[in-house]
Amino acid sequence: MNTDREAVIVSGVRTAIGSFQGSLAGISAPELGSIVVKEALQRAGIGEEHVDEVILGSVLQAGLGQNPARQAWLKADFGVSVPAMTVNKVCGSGLKAVMLAAQAVLLGDAEVVVAGGMENMSRAPYLLPGARDGLRLGDAALVDSLVRDGLWCASCDIHMGLTAENIAERYGLTREEQDAFAAESQRRAAEAASAGRLQAEIVPVPVPQRKGPPVLFAVDEHRWPASGAMRRRRWTRP
């Protein structure tokens, strides 16, 4: 490895975060990825001809088609000569993509790599196991790929939420401490949004409407105001 080389991030951008079944529910992960990829290159002032590789993380790939990262690049109206790779390391997929990009630059395998992550949980399909072999007798159950591929531990056969419960029990974290941490996180997010500190990192997403022109989606949809975060506590089972 050439120790004189250095990997740097020259541009960073994201879409606003949509809520489950919210404003972005009809837009696929590769489509969202294409908007971000195009904007990131534009902000960096780098032409597509200088890109050596595209590496994007994506977990819920069922039904998306081959190589979602490649789709995102092509949907951004870029050429077919740039290779792309999709990474699945569950929650760490996007960060792993950035790490792989940095390693490629440090090793001299690439000069410019587009890296990040993309996901749309609202569009994860339901699966019908056994249908290929023929469902001969009895009922058949649909399997939610959102849960099976994204939220269910394949090793321990438990929901990922239960792993959080295990951690809380192991380290003595009370429900009140967790609620206070969550409420403070929401307060900080609301404060940052109100001060306009998040807008520079967001690229608007045009959302098609049944009638009229597309509406630009550019504000995080999942945030709760500080009062709402505490109010929601009353609706959640202990």
Interacting residues of 183 by C-beta distance below 8 A, sequence separation 6+? 226, 229, 230, 233
Instruction: Find out if CATH 3.40.50.1000 is the number for domain 9-125+199-223.
Output: no
What whole-number distance in Å separates Cα of residue 23 and Cα of residue 112? 33
Q: What angle do CA 36, 34, 208 make, to 5 degrees?
A: 95
Q: What angle do CA 92, 204, 211 make, to 5 degrees?
A: 120
Domains of the chain, by residue range, sit at 9-125+199-223
Does 162 have pLDDT greater than 50?
yes
Query: Which residue carries 């967790």 as its tokens?
Result: 178
Res. 236 pLDDT band, cuts 50 70 90: very low
Could you tell me what percent of the chain has a pLDDT over 90?
A: 88
Average pLDDT over residues 152-170: 95
What whole-number distance in Å separates Cα of residue 146 and Cα of residue 60? 7
Q: What is the pLDDT of residues 23-74, one digit of tens each?
A: 999 999 999 999 999 999 999 999 999 999 999 999 999 999 999 999 999 9
Q: What is the pLDDT of residues 66-87, one digit of tens each?
A: 999 999 999 999 999 999 999 9
pLDDT at site 229: 45
State the pTM of this model: 0.89
Residue with more model confidence, 229 or 198: 198
